[in-house]
Amino acid sequence: MGMTMTQKILAAHAGLDSVKPGQLIMAKLDLVLGNDITTPVAIREFNKIGAAQVFDKEKIAIVPDHFTPNKDIKSAEQCKCCREFANDMEIKNYFEVGQMGIEHALIPEKGLAVAGDVIIGADSHTCTYGALGAFSTGVGSTDMGAGMARGEAWFKVPEAIKFEITGKMGPWVSGKDVILHIIGMIGVDGALYKSMEFSGEGLKNLTMDDRFTIANMAIEAGAKNGIFAVDEKTVEYIKEHSDREYKIYEADEDAEYGEVIKIDLSKIRPTVSFPHIPDNTRTIDEVGDVRIDQVVIGSCTNGRISDLRAAARVLNGKKVNKNVRAIIFPATQKIYLEAIREGLIEIFIEAGAVVSTPTCGPCLGGHMGVLAAGERAVATTNRNFVGRMGHPESEVYLASPAVAAASAITGRISSPEEVA
């Protein structure tokens, strides 16, 4: 029996001719990633096992992005721990404030993930790099610590769901709407410990930013990883951002899938996820009158330059509603600078939004956008659990940058068609 993309990558990194779902393997790692919350715990585990040095100074990345710039003394101590470890171990890819960005946008931008890689990160949205044809997945800090020491990790080979993508997205529909549509279809446990593998002729109509967004939220469907078939767009992106060698793995024609799901992009409407779980989705036509207090545009899901352009297209010449706080976070310093040069930041500020340095802060209710009791936010982030962005009695509605920007103008969840 043939293998899926994920199974082929894992087999190659385990030194095996083939693997099958459920099999336990030890695979070599191409990158180990941590942030300012998870890395200090990993460092303690690294020290516990008596490791004197990391397995490879160029295959570890530490990105302080969750509570940075430091919001308090505790977060400052966390970042100090990361900084000292990175200096002691001579880790090449430590990204200090001023160089950092939101990790899952920064890693591809810096060329640290390419097709065929096996990547672990002590953050659940490490699955983002599947957009590049890599196997990447989130792990606990203990696994990160062991990975930094040994350069290997245990995996249970996942079963796969195949998503056959056809058609072309309509106006104002983006990758965020696609993944919210899929999660609404299959549920937050619909792909539990499975690989979500995307292929089909419709892939050519998805930009790389669309793919990053879709792969990023594979975990919101319970998946072990999301992964896209490598095509010309993937190769072009990799060559533009990285000088590393990459390897393209293709699923065998007789690969076995637990399920095959067909997705016609032309039938997807702008989609919103209602509280308090990502699969509680409605199309923009079904939303009704939902008044809001805050809009957040950014995060590892939707803080890329195309996301900012979509928001600026809606906000240009308009004003943020007087009852709404609109907060915009470019995902990296490079994206921030590009947005300045394109005039996007001017559009945002003139509209009445605030623009911040890259940070994960508001996404997890950490800082710079925390909600009070009873408040509602439309966010381009990836989770809307109880208390996710602040008070347990607040509400988070997940949407695309275009829908979020339109909602900022009207003061209620709105379609961009309404204000364009």
- Whether 34 shows a pLDDT value over 90: the answer reads yes
Q: Is the pLDDT of residue 196 over 80?
A: yes
pLDDT of residue 158: 98
Long-range contacts from 388-391, C-beta under 8 angstroms, 24+ separation: 388/276, 388/363, 388/364, 389/296, 389/362, 389/363, 389/364, 389/365, 390/365
Q: How far apart are CA 329 and CA 361, in angstroms?
A: 10
Let me know the angle formed at the C-alpha of 66 by 176 and 217, rounded to the nearest 5 degrees.
25
Q: How many CB atoms lie within 10 A of CB 322?
A: 7
The rounded distance, in Å, linking the Cα atoms of 202 and 192 is 25
**How far apart are the C-alpha atoms of 413 and 378, rounded to whole Å?**
7
What pTM did the predictor assign?
0.96
What integer pLDDT is reported at residue 137 of this predicted model? Answer: 98
* Residue 40 near residue 82 (C-beta atoms within 8 A): yes
pLDDT at 420: 77
Name all domains of the chain by residue range, CATH numbers in brackets. 5-264 (3.30.499.10), 273-415 (3.30.499.10)
- The predicted structure's pLDDT at residue 1: 76
Sign of torsion over alpha carbons 116, 196, 177, 263: positive
pLDDT at 377: 98
Nearest-CA neighbor of 65 among 129, 136, 125? 125
Q: What share of the chain is helix, strand, coil (3-state, %, to 5)?
A: 40, 20, 40
For residues 93 and 60, the answer to whether their CB atoms sit within 8 Å is yes
Q: How far apart are alpha carbons 313 and 311 in whole angstroms?
A: 5
Identify which of 353, 176, 162, 331 has the alpha carbon closest to the alpha carbon of residue 250.
162
Length of the chain: 420
Task: Work out the mean pLDDT of the chain and round it to a whole number.
Answer: 97
| 275 contacts 384 by C-beta, under 8 angstroms | yes
232-239 mean pLDDT: 98
Give CA–CA dist 112/284, Å, rounded.
Answer: 37
5 pLDDT tier (thresholds 50, 70, 90): very high
Say how many Å lie between the first and final Cα of the chain, rounded.
Answer: 52
**Residue % of the chain over a pLDDT of 70:** 100
Specify which residues 164 forms β-bridges with.
Answer: 199, 262
* Residue 88, C-beta contacts closer than 8 angstroms, at least 6 positions apart: none
Residue 324, both tokens: 């709404």
Residue 190 has what pLDDT? 95
pLDDT digits (tens, 9 = 90+) for 137-180: 999 999 999 999 999 999 999 999 999 999 999 999 999 999 99
Specify the DSSP class assigned to residue 379.
Answer: E
pLDDT digits (tens, 9 = 90+) for 242-288: 999 999 999 999 999 999 999 999 999 999 999 999 999 999 999 99
* pLDDT of res. 73: 96
Tell me the pLDDT tens digit for each residue of 50-83. 999 999 999 999 999 999 899 999 999 999 999 9
pLDDT of residue 180: 98
| Distance separating alpha carbons of residues 397 and 377, to the nearest angstrom | 6
Question: Is 90 exceeded by the pLDDT of residue 100?
Answer: no
Q: Which helix (H) or strand (E) holds 335?
A: helix 333-341
d(CA 56, CA 118): 15
Of all residues in the chain, the percent with pLDDT exceeding 90 is 97
| 3-state DSSP assignment of residue 150 | helix
Contact of 181 with 271, CB cutoff 8 Å: yes
At residue 340, the pLDDT reads 98
